[in-house]
Amino acid sequence: MNIEKQYDVDGLVRGYVDGSLENEQNDLGRQFLRERVDIFDRSSSLLDIGCGNGMDLKVYAGMGFTHLYGVDPSENFLQEARELLNGKIKLSEGVFEQLPFENEMFDVVVSRHALHYSHNLTRAAIEVARVLKSGGAFIVVISHPFADALLPRDEEGNVTATLFNGAVSIIFPQHALSDLFSASFLDLFELDLLYEYVGNERDGAVAEIPNTLAFIAIKK
Ligand SMILES: C[S@@+](CC[C@H](N)C(=O)[O-])C[C@H]1O[C@@H](n2cnc3c(N)ncnc32)[C@H](O)[C@@H]1O
């Protein structure tokens, strides 16, 4: 299974987009990102990694940001994003581990529910730090490793999660919290804020443990 390209299977992008639109108003992760992004000057250059169909980028454009970029490995998602954004925002094919951008291009890098698909979080952190300016912000919403530990796991160490009442099933590598905030990560970034969410972010998760993690890390 190619984890990066899994959304290119027929129907998966449509199921994800429909579920996201239905949940948009109650989505604490999206609210977190939008509130935090709102703090920045509208001339800031902002990159959304794993931008999916571009629905967050569309909101940032509506907020007045003029230097917006999106990157995603899924051709199907990029096609949806091109249509949604009317070609107004620069979209590229790429992954966390190898970003198609020059050094220190961005003031802000955001990512919602994409970082946990990475098979190499250290490499991802090095790449994000490379494209961020010094003092730039990395604002992330990610599936919580505690919740992931409860999910079915295959022999390759990937877990399967279902979203939107079972409408979408996805797989991603299982990560520990220490893989995310590793020594390499903390060498590159200062952790500024860390939230855990319990509740409706993932259907079927045990409510007592956090299922979503949101953080802001500042590039040193
Ligand atoms: C759950 S979707 C989230 C999409 C969008 N951020 C949103 O919140 O609606 C996960 C996205 O991560 C992308 N993705 C998967 N592997 C990735 C990787 N290694 N680097 C960057 N993005 C990745 C997928 O193609 C997909 O668009």
Euclidean distance between the first and final Cα of the chain, in Å? 36
CA distance 102 to 1: 30
C-alpha of residue 113 to centroid of ligand 1, in Å: 6
pLDDT (0 to 100) of residue 207: 54
**Overall number of domains in the chain:** 1
What percent of the chain is predicted at pLDDT more than 70? 95
**What's the pLDDT at 152?**
92
Integer Cα distance of 78 and 14 in angstroms: 12
Write the residue with the smallest CA distance to atom 16 of ligand 1: 4
Q: Rounded to whole angstroms, how far apart are CA atoms 18 and 15?
A: 5
Quick check: CB of 172 below 6 Å from ligand 1?
A: no
Probe residue for ligand 1, chosen from 24, 72, 92 as the CB with the greatest number of ligand atoms within 8 Å:
72
Q: How far is the CA of 53 from the centre of ligand 1 (A)?
A: 9
Mean pLDDT, residues 136-140 taken together: 98
Q: What is the mean pLDDT of the chain?
A: 92
Contacts of 158 (CB under 8 A, 6+ apart): 1, 3, 171, 172, 173, 174
Q: Is 74 in the pocket of ligand 1 (CB under 6 A)?
A: yes
Q: Quote the pLDDT of residue 11.
A: 82
Q: What is the rounded CA–CA span in Å between residue 18 and residue 167? A: 10
- What is the whole-number distance in angstroms between the Cα of residue 50 and the centre of ligand 1? 4
Average pLDDT over residues 75-99: 95
Tell me, using a 6 A CB cutoff, whether residue 95 lines ligand 1: yes
- Evaluate whether 50 touches 72 at the Cβ level (below 8 Å): yes
Per-residue model confidence as pLDDT tens digits over 6-15: 888 878 898 8
Counting ligand 1 atoms within 8 A of each CB, the residue from 3, 77, 97, 122 with the most, and so the one to mutate, is: 77
Q: Is the CB of 80 under 6 A from ligand 1?
A: no
Distance CA 120, CA 181 (A): 13
Ligand 1 and 77: CB distance under 6 A: yes
Distance CA 156, CA 11 (A): 25
pLDDT class of 31 with cuts at 50, 70, 90: very high
Domain CATH number, residue 62: 3.40.50.150
pLDDT digits (tens, 9 = 90+) for 155-202: 999 999 988 887 888 999 999 999 999 999 999 999 999 999 876 555
Fill in the amino acid letter for 101.
F
Which atom of ligand 1 lies at the shortest distance from residue 55's CA?
A: 9
What integer pLDDT is reported at residue 216 of this predicted model?
98
Cα-only R_g, the chain? 16
52 lines ligand 1 (CB under 6 A): yes
Query: Could you report the per-residue pLDDT of 56-66, keeping only the tens digit for each?
Result: 999 999 999 99
Range of the domain at 32: 3-219
